[in-house]
Structure 1
Amino acid sequence: MTLFELQAKIKSASDKMRADDNTKNALKYLEQLTWLLFLKVLDSMEETKEMVARIDGATYRPLIAGKYRWKTWARNNKLTGDELIEFVTDDLLPYLRGLRGSARAERIAAIFGEIRTVMKSGYSLKEVIAIVDSIDFHALNNHHAMSVIYESLLAQTADAGWSGEFYTPRPVVESMVRIIDPTLGERIYDPCCGSAGFLVASAEHVASATKTVEDKERFNSATFFGQESGEIAALVGTMNLILHGVEDPQVVRRNTLEQDTRNVNPSDQFDVILTNPPFGGTENPQVQQNFPSRSAATELLFLQHCMAKLRDGGRAAIVLPDGILYRTETAFSTVRRRLLNEFNVTAIVRLPTGVFPTAADTRTNLIFFSKAGRTQTIRYYQVPNPPGKRSYSKTNPLPVEVLTGAERWVVHGVADEYSWEVDYDTIIDNGYDLDIPWPNAAFSSDAASAGARIEELRNRLATLTELTDALAKAHESLESYPLGENIKIGDWAVEAGARAGSRTPDRYVGVSNEGGLTPFKGTPAKDTSRYRELRPGDFVYNPMRVNVGSIALCRREEEAGWVSPDYVVFRLAEGAPFSDEYLLMYLKSEQGKAEIVRESRGAVRRRLYFDGVRKINVPVPGDTESWSALIASFAAVRRHLRELPATALTTLAAFEAAAFSPRGAVTDTPAEVMV
């Protein structure tokens, strides 16, 4: 039986239940069908265990006995109509609720303790049971049949309140699990587990390590943890894990976001987190109070939850939409700064559109991070589009082998043309913007890549529109960026820039009027002893042109060097009431330039000496977090604006090349651009 045939049967059973008075409501018939499927699958598993035991000359005692076994009551043609309803309501369900004797039995009892839905018509129920019984689970090659069923049911109940939920394709789940590589003895957690796809895949990944009785006990009850707010989803997830050999899965039904993440006990943290949270949902202000950075966006709240729940040394993999990477609202910017500075973001795998068929236009990423120091270098990987197409789809799903390159790069550092690296300093320079596109896209010129380039250009324009809208909102609510009293820079400015003396400068640096550091293009003086050393964290400016923006901040080692002996170099002392970036932004503003002019001296050509810098008045930021986010948003917009012309031109070039290429031909990426 194929999965498509399985889905067709589920659809047929659903149609019959919708006609019944007790199960017209989508959530009601979903519950009814779920527990029927569970009993059918459980009985199929019991039959397999009985057969194996007979081959081994042993005896297996089924968990569900006698007349309560599926194969006994469900296939009894005489049991129908009111008699069937009476048996299910007054006999079968009470028996299942009373199961005892093992963790597995008690977990099943707990599941059926929540079951209340039974169809009104015993004849209709008999038809549904016959459809379910016709499903041969032994013949299903896919081990995630319950997840596929769940996806099919979700598609039918799209208008029944299942906002933001969608099925994670098996290749994505299994690839994330292989990259994270959970092991027995670790606590594995999914805060929005749905049908428990990540936990099931993790169980299959570690199952072979269970060698002893203690291992099996740990596997059954102390390894897999999940939370899920949906009643039916939690039911399906628990059943799914039990059907995959986890006898006592720790799946709890609750709204994860209602838990306070600001002070999590280490005993409530986990070694491994794997999840795909709901996108695009919103939470009320009361729930937002549970997080350090408040936002209505559910994806941002779930990311903060995962950060809080990750144990020291632990690792996480999470599916997130593109907006997480670049949105400049204070909450988004602050969370990205925390993620990069308090965690080690090791990789970002960028997925093409259509990977999630129920959210076809959503651009998504797999983000991998660990709680082991701050980020150093991020390995990026662009999963390619399907050959000749712009995106994947329900009829053309993502195949398993497409993620192999990403796994080799993320785990082993084996590069190919779709991989690249970005260092921490570059990301900081870009205002903590993680939305970094595949650099090699510009070198492909076949018809398929032209379509991808057009899509990238469209995405970049959409991103710029979003960033501009965020700036417009910030402009409309300037009260969110309060300013305190004006203070003189005074002792917060410390003169820097030691003279070269006998040292020989190895790199000369200049300052452009736009405020950036550039390699010095002229010829240095013969006597270099008075040149000044520029180090990361130093400000440097041309005393006679600082009033037009000739001032810069050295942010990293690659920008360091030696500057003209006439330039002024200083840095902020530790504990200054404003950051380097804030001061640079102010000194380049019209208000800052006016202060510079006021403190400049000279009859012919006015100059700003270091003593003048110390007299400049600077407004103290009233909310450093919101100001940091605003400054980062400016940096993000500047980066996207810088890259937009190149993206547009390479898109047109790719389109032109495709237009003159033989139709259907594919041009290989030049070897010299391979990573």
Structure 2
Amino acid sequence: MTLSELQAKIKSASDKMRADDNTKNALKYLEQLTWLLFLKVFDSLEENREMVAEIDDTVYKPLIEDEYRWGTWARDSKLSGDDLIDFVTDDLLPYLRELSGSSRAERFAAIFAEVRTVMKSGYSLKEVIAIVDSIDFHALDNHHSMSVIYEWLLAQTADAGWSGEFYTPRPVVETMVRCVNPKLGEKVYDPCCGSAGFLVASAEHIAPSTKTTEQREQFNSGTIYGQESGEIAALVGTMNLILHGVEDPQIIRRNTLEQDIRNVNPSDQVDVILTNPPFGGNENPQVQQNFPSKAAATELLFLQHCMAKLRDGGRSAIVLPDGILYRTETAFSTVRRRLINEFNVTAIVRLPTGVFPAAADIRTNLIFFAKSGRTESIRYYQVPSPPGKRSYSKTNPLTREVLKGVEHWLVAGEPDEYSWEVSYETLVESGFDLDIPWPNTSQVTGAETAGEQLEELQARLSILSELTETLVKAHAELHDYPLQEAIPIGNFVVETGVRAGGKTPDRFVGVSNSGGLAAFKGKPASDTSRYRELRPGDFVYNPMRVNVGSIALCRREEEAGWVSPDYAVFRLTEDAPFDAEYLLMYLKSEQGRAEIERQSRGAVRRRLYIDGLQRVTVPLPGDAEAWSALISSFASVRRHLRELPVTSVGALAAFEAAVFSPREEPDERTGEANPSLD
């Protein structure tokens, strides 16, 4: 049977179901066709097991009793019309729902627990059954061909509003799988597996390494794991895996977000997670109680689920919307801080719009992380838009060729013009805002990129507006950021900044009144032996101007160096009741400057020495997570404000080029652009 012949059979069956009153729409006929195909394929696998047992002179007991096996009832010429409908509705489906006695039987029963779709006409159903029965699933080529057809069917139903939330373009899936590189012996898991695209691709990636009978058994029943809340989706996903050679996939029908992940048993953790969770959903407060950071956003809850389910040394790749990267509400900020500090976020791939046809306007990212220590740096990659287009689409989809640069950068460390890297210290300075735009955007000013860059400018302005709105809300609800008693910080401050002595300082650093660190522009003294060393994690301030904001925090190695011998350098102890960012924000506030003034000494030029700093009292944050999120909001807004001028200039330059470029007039018949003859 050729692929075209198989496609003709599937189309014929689909046409018959669409003509039936009970299976007119795509969702209904997909469900009906899926469970029929599932039973046919399962019966083929059972026949294979029986033949192997006979050859090995062993006994194999089929899971389904003979009366309910496909080969018995589907080929019974006497069972037709209303009798067929009655048998399927009153006997077959109830029997399948009550299977028990083994984990395999219980999974089978769970698959059929919610299957309800049965065609109204028993005669039409008989014709569909005959078409399905004519497909020989024993032939390997037909297995592969059926998979192609099945994925085509799934793509068609995206228009009907079902599988669009589960269907991830194949190039994206395969790139994620190759970058994560699941292996035989590892548990591969998708918490919202839908049609099982990630699990299928993982199975195809692993299958060539199965050489022995034991390895094949491990592959069939101990490698692929998934959960799915939708009954049709669970059935589709299981069927899809079986069609791709996984005989006993561990797919459970369950609402993943109803699981309490605050204390996950290590035995329930997995090695590899690949997923594309639903975005924009709103979970009820009861479900939110299952998570350390409570939020209504389903994408944030799924991210926390993945973090909890990953075992030590495990790795994950997840599709997430832009909001996850920058939103500064307490839950978002806390989860992002945990992700960076407790996991190794290795890469973030920025996708252009249109990659997911069912959500064409949503900006998405592929986030790769491992449970292998703190993040040191993140490799970013900006997937380019199609040449001359603003976004991808159904008619102009993302291709594997475009994603090759992603794999070269993430796997082999080979950079190109779309890749860049961001250090941990830079992320800390930005308030753990991960929405880092491609730094080369402003350098691309060709007319063909004008629309794309204007859209990027619009997106940047929208993000800035959203972040500012968070601050407006925080200002209106200051009771959400309680302060406790003020305490002297003396016990939590240690003086640092060793003198240069015989060392020759290699970089001199200054502190501006606005509180930033920068290379010292003046000429250092001829005697540099008393200059103080500034290291990451140190505070430095000008004792005579700290009351007007001349204090800074060294966050990364690039800012380190040597400061004036008159400056004070200190750092917080590990047991301090607040972090460095909180202290910096307070000392630069109006209240903090007044406290500094109170503890300064001197009649003419007042100075704040270290002993005076130790007497400064600082109010303790009442809710540390809420305060961290607020401080992140300020840092994020500042970073986006700094980037906005560059983005603006690049977008305007690109548009100016477009204004004077040759016009293309659309063809009145096709709508396609044709070069103007003027």
User: TM-score, with normalisation over the residues of structure 1?
Assistant: 0.87
Q: Between the two proteins, what is the percent identity of the paired residues?
A: 73
1:491 deviates by 2.8
Give 3-state SS (helix, strand or coil) of 1:398's partner. Answer: coil
Query: Distance in 1 between the 2:392 and 2:68 partners?
Result: 45
* Partner amino acid, structure 2, of 1:150: L
CA distance 1:617–1:372, change in 2 (3 Å)? same
In the other structure, the counterpart of 1:243 is 243
Match of 1:393 in 2: 393
How many residues are paired up?
Answer: 651
The corresponding residue for 1:517 is: 517
Q: Show the 5 A alignment for 1:369-380.
A: 369-380=369-380
C-alpha separation between the residues in 2 aligned to 1:6 and 1:379? 47
Structure 2 residue 439 is the aligned partner of structure 1 residue 439: yes
Are 2:456 and 1:452 aligned? no
2:166 and 2:193 in contact (8 A); partners too: no
Paired residue secondary structure (1:400): coil
**Aligned partners of 1:78 and 1:109: how far apart in 2?**
27
- Does structure 2 retain, via aligned residues, the 8 Å contact 1:16–1:124? no
* Partner secondary structure for residue 119 of structure 1: coil
Cα distance between partner residues in 1 of 2:323 and 2:146: 33
1:138-177 equivalences under 5 Å are 138=142, 141=145, 143-157=147-161, 165-177=165-177
Whichever residue aligns with residue 653 of structure 2, its letter is A
Does the alignment pair 1:507 with 2:507?
yes
User: For 1:611 and 1:63, how far apart are their aligned partners in 2?
Assistant: 79
Deviates more, 1:601-610 or 1:244-253: 601-610
1:48-79 per-position Cα deviation (integer Å, ceiling 9, x unaligned): 9999xxxxxxxx99999999887997688886
* 3-state SS of paired residue (1:274): strand
Structure 2 match to 1:549: 549
Secondary structure of the equivalent of 1:638?
A: helix
CA distance in 2, matches of 1:577, 1:617: 13
CA distance in 2, matches of 1:191, 1:393: 27
Give yes or no for the alignment of 1:579 onto 2:579: yes
1:310 and 2:310 matched: yes
SS in 2 for 1:143: helix
Whether the 8 Å contact between 1:107 and 1:247 is mirrored in structure 2 is no
Counterpart of 2:562, as a letter, is W
What displacement does 1:136 show?
10
Q: Specify the code of the residue in structure 1 equivalent to 2:257.
A: L
Q: What secondary structure does 1:348 align onto?
A: strand
Matched to 1:241, the amino acid is L
Alpha carbons of structure 1 residues 142 and 421: separation in structure 2 relative to 1, 3 Å: farther
- Please state whether the residue corresponding to 1:407 is helix, strand or coil: helix
Say which of 16, 21, 28 aligns to 2:19: 16
Q: Does 1:428 align with 2:432?
A: no
State whether residues 151 and 166 of structure 1, in contact with CA within 8 Å, keep that contact through their aligned partners in structure 2: no
Amino acid at match of 1:653: A
Shift of 1:564: 1.4
Classify the secondary structure of the residue corresponding to 1:518: strand
* Cα distance between partner residues in 2 of 1:257 and 1:103: 23
Output the amino acid matched with 2:300. L
Deviation at 1:299, TM superposition (A): 0.6
Query: What is the alpha-carbon distance in structure 1 between the residues aligned to residue 9 and residue 181 of structure 2?
Result: 31
- Residue 302 (structure 1) shift: 0.7
Contact 1:261-1:290 at 8 Å conserved across structures? yes
CA change 1:408–1:123 in 2 (3 A) is: same
Gaps of 5+ in 1: 52-59, 665-675
Q: Equivalent residues in 2 for 1:173-192 (5 A)?
A: 173-192=173-192
User: How far apart in 1 are the matches of 2:300 and 2:535?
Assistant: 36
Deviates more, 1:403-412 or 1:434-443: 434-443
After TM superposition, the structure 1 = structure 2 runs for residues 7-406 of structure 1, keeping only pairs within 5 Å, are 12=15, 15-17=18-20, 19-20=21-22, 31-39=31-39, 80-89=80-89, 93=93, 111-112=111-112, 115-126=115-126, 138=142, 141=145, 143-157=147-161, 165-406=165-406
Cα distance in 2, alignment partners of residues 512 and 401 from structure 1: 48
Aligned counterparts of 1:75 and 1:399: Cα–Cα separation in 2 = 43
Q: Which residue of 1 aligns with 2:472?
A: 472
Structure 2 partner of 1:57: none
Q: Which shows bigger deviation, 503-512 or 266-275?
A: 503-512
Counterpart amino acid of 1:399?
Answer: T
3-state SS of paired residue (1:570): strand
Greater Cα shift, 105-114 or 410-419: 105-114
Q: Are 2:352 and 2:364, in contact at CA under 8 Å, matched by a contact in 1?
A: yes
Q: Which residue of 1 aligns with 2:670?
A: none
Q: Distance in 2 between matches of 1:540 and 1:145?
A: 66
Aligned to 2:147, the other structure's residue is in SS state coil
Matched residue, 1:617: 617
Equivalent residue for 2:630?
630
Aligned to 1:643: 643
5+ residue gaps, structure 2, are 52-59, 665-678
d(CA) in 2 for partners of 1:320, 1:7:
34
AA in 1 matched with 2:118: V
CA distance change for structure 1 residues 110 and 568 in 2, over 3 Å: closer, same or farther? Answer: closer
Which shifted more, 97-106 or 27-36? 97-106
Q: 2:619 & 2:102 partners in 1: Cα distance?
A: 68
Deviation at residue 410 of structure 1 after TM alignment? 0.5
Q: Is the deviation greater in 76-85 or in 260-269?
A: 76-85
Q: Offset of 1:144 from its aligned partner?
A: 4.9
Contact 2:554–2:560, Cα closer than 8 Å, also in 1: yes
Structure 1 residues 144 and 200: alpha-carbon distance in aligned structure 2, compared to 1, 3 A threshold: farther
Code of the aligned partner of 1:297 = A
Change (3 A) 1:525 1:5: farther
Worse-superposed segment, 38-47 or 608-617: 38-47
Q: Is the 8 A contact 1:316 1:368 kept in 2?
A: yes
TM-score (norm 2): 0.87
C-alpha separation in 2, matches of 1:225 and 1:173: 16
Is the contact between residue 144 and residue 243 of structure 2 (CA under 8 Å) also seen in structure 1?
A: no
3-state SS of paired residue (1:456): helix
In the other structure, the counterpart of 2:672 is: none
Q: What residue number does 1:531 align with?
A: 531
* Deviations 1:369-419, CA, capped at 9 Å, x for gaps: 111111112111111111111111122221121111101110001111111
Label 1:240 to 1:600 Cα distance change in 2 as closer, same or farther (>3 A): same
Matches of 2:10 and 2:358, distance apart in 1: 16
Q: CA deviation at 1:26?
A: 8.1
CA deviation after TM superposition for structure 1 residue 350, in Å: 1.0
| CA drift at 1:653 | 1.2
Shifted more, 635-644 versus 552-561: the winner is: 552-561
In the TM superposition, residue 168 of structure 1 has moved relative to its aligned partner by 0.7
Deviations 1:120-168 (A, max 9, x none): 332453565578689999497573543443343353255xxx8x92311
User: 3-state SS of the aligned residue for 2:247?
Assistant: coil
Per the TM alignment, residue 649 of structure 1 is displaced from its structure 2 partner at its CA by 0.2
Question: Could you tell me which residue of structure 1 aligns to residue 595 of structure 2?
Answer: 595
Question: Partners of 1:215 and 1:224 in 2: how far apart?
Answer: 13
Tell me, what secondary structure is at the counterpart of 1:454?
helix
Shift of 1:460: 0.7
3-state SS, counterpart of residue 311 of structure 1: strand
Secondary structure in structure 2 of the residue aligned to 1:402:
coil
Can you list the C-alpha shifts for 1:202-232, whole angstroms capped at 9, x where unaligned? 1111112221111111111111111111111
CA 1:491–1:641: 2 relative to 1, 3 Å: same
Deviation at 1:634, TM superposition (A): 0.8
Between stretches 227-236 and 531-540, larger displacement belongs to 531-540
How far the C-alpha of 1:348 sits from its partner, in A, is: 0.9
CA distance in 2, matches of 1:654, 1:142: 47
For 1:301 and 1:150, how far apart are their aligned partners in 2?
26
Q: Structure 2 counterpart of 1:318, which letter? A: I
**Deviation larger for 8-17 or 387-396:** 8-17
Please give the secondary structure, in 2, of the residue aligned with 1:272: strand
Q: What do you get for the CA RMSD once the two structures are aligned? A: 3.5
1:605 Cα deviation (Å)? 2.7
| Distance change >3 Å, CA 133–CA 395, structure 1 → 2 | farther
Give, in whole Å, the separation in 1 of the partners of 2:102 and 2:537: 63
Q: In 2, Cα distance between the equivalents of 1:191 and 1:639? A: 34
Deviation, 1:37, is 3.7
